[in-house]
Chains A and B, each alone.
Chain A
Amino acid sequence: MEITAENKVLKFVEGLIPPSDGTSIRKEALQALNGMDFPTTRVEEWKYTRVGRITNKTFQQEERKANIEKYKITNLDAHLVVFVNGYFDASLSTIKEDKALSVQSIEKLDLDYYSEIMEETEENVFSLINKGYQTGGVYIKVGENEKTAYPIHLLHLTTGEGIISNAQHFIHLEKGSKTELITTYDSDEAENSFTNIVIEGHIEENANLTIQKLQFEEKNVFHISNEFFVQDPSSQFKINTITTGSLLTRNGLNVIVEGENCHTEMNGVYLGTENQHLDNHTLIEHLYSNCTSSETYKGVMDDKSTGVFNGKVIVRPNAKKIEAYQSNGNILLSKSSTVNSKPELEIYADDVRCSHGSTTGQLDEDAIYYLRTRGISEQKAKKLMVAAFIGEVLDKVDNSDIRKKVDQHFLEHFGWVF
């Protein structure tokens, strides 16, 4: 499908490799993209995030070889699926023997199944660009009543200047299955590059999916992710999102709970320094009764960085006995840091218990003073306090190898010990 309208989106995709025949998912995306424009801050969903810095640039898609050793997770015994600049690199990947698991190219995903599962999700211009111009991705399936023998690590590396990485993944947990997905994002000498990722998933009845997302890219790249998940009855979904990377990050995370007795958990930590802009945009939509959801995001902003939290919980009519909890805490370490928090509840049913809380402040001066009287330097005392603040969320990362990687990252980049 040709994009005909003269607009910025057209200009943006001009430099990309024109898609070959591809799947019908690709075709539909290209069609939907037709006539679309990039959001401005007048669009409520993008009120606090300007994407002009991305959309005014042009990017190339380029397959490259890379060394990924330092981006691996030490000791983690996992299926390793590597994407460099959005291209699958078989030589770097290791998919082990695992009867629970099938990993195929995203091109193998059946459109009919896909359209039916994802019909309620709302696309945006970036997810459509991804789907229209994706250069690779995996369709992961976990078999009925099976648990994968190992977690699955999707390692993403962007390398080279002015690159756009458009990987698109889909994970399908069949009834009663269970797995853990680890997605990591790094960059190497990738100035002005742009990671534009889409991960979608379907968690069937009684299935259980945990995702650990580590966004550790360098501070000279852009990152927009669109993550859409659909939960069937009695399923469980948990995602921990740890973001310290990129100049501009937008983590879009949408979960539609399409069955009773589900549990949804979203946790996030975002640490900003320099001129970083870190935006976490989440949605949990409850369509059925007797579900619980819990969301805890904490941000620490230093230097001239800006943190954004926009979390929305929707309870649709007739979804009874929903318990939804949402909390967002922010600490501003410097005079020039900014935080914008927008926790929202949209409740269309009456028998619910929903709450949210948002706090913004600074480190407790009295506590710092107390630590100093015990001989701890001010700098160290502050680090301890920050660690205590975000530690509550980090403790929800229950995979010890991942936790070690996170701790090590914080130690190297911030000098923070947890």
Chain B
Amino acid sequence: MGYTEEELAKDLENQEYKFGFTSNFESDKAPNGLSEEIIRFISAKKEEPAWLLAKRLQAYEAWKEMTEPEWAHVHYDKPSFQDICYYSAPKQSKKYESWDDVDPEMKETMAKLGISLEEQQRLTGTAVDFVMDSVSVATSFKKKLNELGIIFCSFSEAVQDHPELVKKYMGTVVPSKDNFYAALNSAVFTDGSFCYIPKGVRCPMELSTYFRINEGGTGQFERTLVVAEKGSYVSYLEGCTAPMRDENQLHAAVVELIALDDAEIKYSTVQNWYPGDKNGKGGVYNFVTKRGLCERNAKISWTQVETGSAVTWKYPSCILKGDNSIGEFYSVAVTNNYQQADTGTKMIHLGKNTKSTIISKGISAGHSHNSYRGLVQIHGNAENARNFSQCDSLLMSDTSGAHTFPYIECKNNSAKIEHEATTSKIGEDQIFYCKQRGIDEEKAIGLIVNGYCKEVLNQLPMEFAVEAQKLLEISLENSVG
């Protein structure tokens, strides 16, 4: 008869990683392993000021005392931290003056990723800070942003050009001892992005960074810092793809957002790192710490569409410190084959009249496990705090798992918290209905899943939403024979 769940599962297994290719750069690599010397080497390579080196070494000391977290609902072979290379940079270290100067091979790489910088620049007016293996090599639209006083550059540049800002804000939201991976990142981070929006400025374009892991066995330790001064606004986009690899690649990024009074930061992520093959071999470990701080009347909105990585451990969070501040988390996480995701958010309500919204949609296929883990914490002084959470899970195979672990902690009797969660199978009657209207199974599933995730996809900026939808389709793509 019709197309069964098992057949769907089979089709999903067979889908190949679309962006699996490798580009050949010669790298300026540090020897594998982690030690004080390596950290000094990284710091020296990057010509960092002494205070930053001191910070790194402090973090390293703390990290040595810490153990890897084991509470997440994921199982994997722990990375060997002495087998990782903590520094590699493309050999051409000089900065490009213009787009024409950029290495043609890099251009080709980007074209394969489907994110042609030229097209992005021309069509969308998006400034792109392209990070290739930890070192920023192309930055555009800098001039226009300069006029507004907006700083958007690589983290290393920021350390050189705006040390006072970096020093003031770095580590204030994610302290270096926050957790095992944040400590590791704080010790060995190589580069990342820095963004500063001055008081009252509304950033006129979406700021984008495309990350890419490119060097076999190279850990990625990105550091992102976004500071929105009082009354400013910025929408920041981050998207990732990674080439196909056999060995596991560790990615432990730290993202810190600071929204001062009346500021708003919208941070969107589309993540499609290599998830491993259909037998669960290879793939990226994505252990990220993302957190934002909201001062008075500020708003931070996290939107993520996650389809990649072998193991994901990620909880973009909001500390709602200021009165009337708002935190939002919109997430779609798709897992397939042997992928494992433990993702969610933390909404920490400290200020009065703080509000948070959590919309999470998990889709599990193949043998994957997809967990939502979220914390809503209302502190004693958070009068009239409000939270609404909706966590839905859709199961596409009987060998996959969908788990929901919400933590709701309330210490204020004027708070109102609502949490709802559902777990169900994709509706066979819905698929039949679509098919009766002439839509084949594959398209029907695409339609239904996209509909299921609509609330989240609607939060993405237009051009990103298209990319995200495409990603969902690719992730659930199958070839009905």
A interface residues, Cβ below 8 angstroms from B: 44, 317-318, 320, 330, 332-362
Residues on A with beta carbons closer than 8 Å to the beta carbon of B407: 340, 342
A335 to B395, CA, bound (A): 41
A342 to B409, CA, bound (A): 9
Is the Cβ of A44 less than 8 Å from the Cβ of B71?
yes
Is the Cβ of B422 less than 8 Å from the Cβ of A347?
no
A334's closest neighbor in chain B, by CB? B413
**Which of B437-474 touch A at CB < 8 Å?**
none
A350 to B367, CA, bound (A): 11
Is the Cβ of B418 less than 8 Å from the Cβ of A330?
no
Query: Is the C-beta of B173 less than 8 angstroms from some C-beta in chain A?
Result: no
- Known contacts: A317-B399, A355-B421, A359-B417. The answer to whether A347 contacts B393 by CB under 8 A is yes
Q: Select B404's contact among A317, A356, A359, beta carbons within 8 Å.
A: A356
A320 to B398, CA, bound (A): 9
Query: Is the C-beta of B127 less than 8 angstroms from some C-beta in chain A?
Result: no
B397's closest neighbor in chain A, by CB? A350
Is the Cβ of B417 less than 8 Å from the Cβ of A356?
no
Is the Cβ of B413 less than 8 Å from the Cβ of A342?
no
What are 5 pairs between A and B in contact, CB < 8 Å?
A332-B415, A343-B406, A354-B424, A356-B419, A361-B415
Residues on A with beta carbons closer than 8 Å to the beta carbon of B417: 358-361
- Known contacts: A350-B398, A351-B398. The answer to whether A332 contacts B410 by CB under 8 A is yes
Chain B contact residues: over half helix, strand or loop, or mixed?
strand
Q: Select B416's contact among A344, A356, A361, beta carbons within 8 Å.
A: A361
A342 to B376, CA, bound (A): 10
Is the Cβ of A352 less than 8 Å from the Cβ of B406?
no
Q: Select A343's contact among B402, B414, B421, beta carbons within 8 Å.
A: B421
Q: Select B398's contact among A318, A339, A355, beta carbons within 8 Å.
A: A318
Query: Is the C-beta of B403 less than 8 angstroms from some C-beta in chain A?
Result: yes
CB-CB nearest 5 A-B residue pairs: A332-B413, A350-B395, A341-B408, A360-B417, A345-B404
Residue of B5, B400, B406, B408 with highest tally of chain A CB at under 10 A: B408
B interface residues, Cβ below 8 angstroms from A: 5, 71, 380, 393, 395-425
Is the Cβ of A342 less than 8 Å from the Cβ of B408?
yes
- Known contacts: A350-B425, A352-B425, A362-B414. The answer to whether A357 contacts B419 by CB under 8 A is yes
Is the Cβ of A338 less than 8 Å from the Cβ of B424?
no
Residues on A with beta carbons closer than 8 Å to the beta carbon of B395: 347, 349-350, 352
B409's closest neighbor in chain A, by CB? A340
A132 to B247, CA, bound (A): 50
Q: Given A340-B407, A340-B409, A360-B410, 6 other A-B contacts at CB below 8 A?
A: A346-B404, A350-B5, A353-B423, A358-B418, A359-B416, A361-B415
Is the Cβ of B425 less than 8 Å from the Cβ of A337?
no
In whole Å, how far is A291's beta carbon from the nearest beta carbon of chain B?
15
A335's closest neighbor in chain B, by CB? B413
Residues on A with beta carbons closer than 8 Å to the beta carbon of B420: 355-357
Residues on A with beta carbons closer than 8 Å to the beta carbon of B419: 341, 343, 356-359
Is the Cβ of B423 less than 8 Å from the Cβ of A342?
no
Residues on B with beta carbons closer than 8 Å to the beta carbon of A335: 380, 412-413
A391 to B417, CA, bound (A): 21
Q: Select A342's contact among B71, B398, B400, B406, beta carbons within 8 Å.
A: B406
Residues on A with beta carbons closer than 8 Å to the beta carbon of B408: 339-342, 358, 360
A357 to B388, CA, bound (A): 11
In whole Å, how far is A331's beta carbon from the nearest beta carbon of chain B?
8
Q: Select A358's contact among B71, B380, B406, B425, beta carbons within 8 Å.
A: B406
A355 to B393, CA, bound (A): 10
B405's closest neighbor in chain A, by CB? A344
A135 to B65, CA, bound (A): 46
In whole Å, how far is A5's beta carbon from the nearest beta carbon of chain B?
23
A355 to B403, CA, bound (A): 11
Residues on A with beta carbons closer than 8 Å to the beta carbon of B380: 335-336
Residues on B with beta carbons closer than 8 Å to the beta carbon of A351: 398, 425
In whole Å, how far is B68's beta carbon from the nearest beta carbon of chain A?
15
Is the Cβ of A346 less than 8 Å from the Cβ of B401?
yes
A345 to B392, CA, bound (A): 11
A315's closest neighbor in chain B, by CB? B423
A358 to B418, CA, bound (A): 6
- Known contacts: A342-B407, A355-B420. The answer to whether A360 contacts B396 by CB under 8 A is no
A362 to B410, CA, bound (A): 11
In whole Å, how far is B347's beta carbon from the nearest beta carbon of chain A?
13
Is the Cβ of B416 less than 8 Å from the Cβ of A354?
no
Residue of B398, B409, B423 with highest tally of chain A CB at under 10 A: B423
Residues on A with beta carbons closer than 8 Å to the beta carbon of B403: 344-347
In whole Å, how far is B30's beta carbon from the nearest beta carbon of chain A?
36
- Known contacts: A342-B406, A346-B401. The answer to whether A360 contacts B415 by CB under 8 A is yes
Residues on A with beta carbons closer than 8 Å to the beta carbon of B399: 317
- Known contacts: A44-B71, A338-B410, A355-B421. The answer to whether A344 contacts B415 by CB under 8 A is no
A348 to B393, CA, bound (A): 12
Is the Cβ of B413 less than 8 Å from the Cβ of A362?
yes
Is the Cβ of B413 less than 8 Å from the Cβ of A337?
yes
In whole Å, how far is A274's beta carbon from the nearest beta carbon of chain B?
16
A339's closest neighbor in chain B, by CB? B410
Residues on A with beta carbons closer than 8 Å to the beta carbon of B413: 332-335, 337, 362
Residues on B with beta carbons closer than 8 Å to the beta carbon of A345: 393, 402-404, 421, 423
In whole Å, how far is B454's beta carbon from the nearest beta carbon of chain A?
20
Residues on B with beta carbons closer than 8 Å to the beta carbon of A332: 410, 412-413, 415
A345 to B424, CA, bound (A): 12
Residues on B with beta carbons closer than 8 Å to the beta carbon of A352: 395, 423-425
A361's closest neighbor in chain B, by CB? B416
Residue of A335, A338, A350, A360 with highest tally of chain B CB at under 10 A: A350
A356 to B399, CA, bound (A): 22
Residues on B with beta carbons closer than 8 Å to the beta carbon of A360: 408, 410, 415-417
Is the Cβ of B423 less than 8 Å from the Cβ of A355?
yes
A258 to B410, CA, bound (A): 36
A196 to B405, CA, bound (A): 29
A354's closest neighbor in chain B, by CB? B423
In whole Å, how far is A332's beta carbon from the nearest beta carbon of chain B?
3
B389's closest neighbor in chain A, by CB? A358
A317 to B71, CA, bound (A): 22
- Known contacts: A335-B412, A358-B419, A360-B415. The answer to whether A317 contacts B398 by CB under 8 A is yes
Residue of B396, B400, B413 with highest tally of chain A CB at under 10 A: B413
A321's closest neighbor in chain B, by CB? B425
- Known contacts: A332-B410, A342-B407, A359-B418. The answer to whether A347 contacts B398 by CB under 8 A is no
Residue of B5, B396, B399, B411 with highest tally of chain A CB at under 10 A: B411
In whole Å, how far is B11's beta carbon from the nearest beta carbon of chain A?
16
A350 to B231, CA, bound (A): 47
In whole Å, how far is B33's beta carbon from the nearest beta carbon of chain A?
31
Residues on B with beta carbons closer than 8 Å to the beta carbon of A344: 403-406
A340 to B417, CA, bound (A): 11
In whole Å, how far is A187's beta carbon from the nearest beta carbon of chain B?
29
A358 to B416, CA, bound (A): 11
A324's closest neighbor in chain B, by CB? B423
Residues on B with beta carbons closer than 8 Å to the beta carbon of A353: 422-424
In whole Å, how far is A299's beta carbon from the nearest beta carbon of chain B?
11
In whole Å, how far is A316's beta carbon from the nearest beta carbon of chain B?
10
A354 to B425, CA, bound (A): 10
Residues on B with beta carbons closer than 8 Å to the beta carbon of A356: 404, 419-421
A387 to B401, CA, bound (A): 39
Residues on B with beta carbons closer than 8 Å to the beta carbon of A336: 380
Residues on A with beta carbons closer than 8 Å to the beta carbon of B397: 350
A338 to B417, CA, bound (A): 13
A340 to B419, CA, bound (A): 13
In whole Å, how far is B71's beta carbon from the nearest beta carbon of chain A?
6
Residues on B with beta carbons closer than 8 Å to the beta carbon of A362: 413-416
Residues on B with beta carbons closer than 8 Å to the beta carbon of A346: 401, 403-404
A352 to B426, CA, bound (A): 10
A360 to B425, CA, bound (A): 29
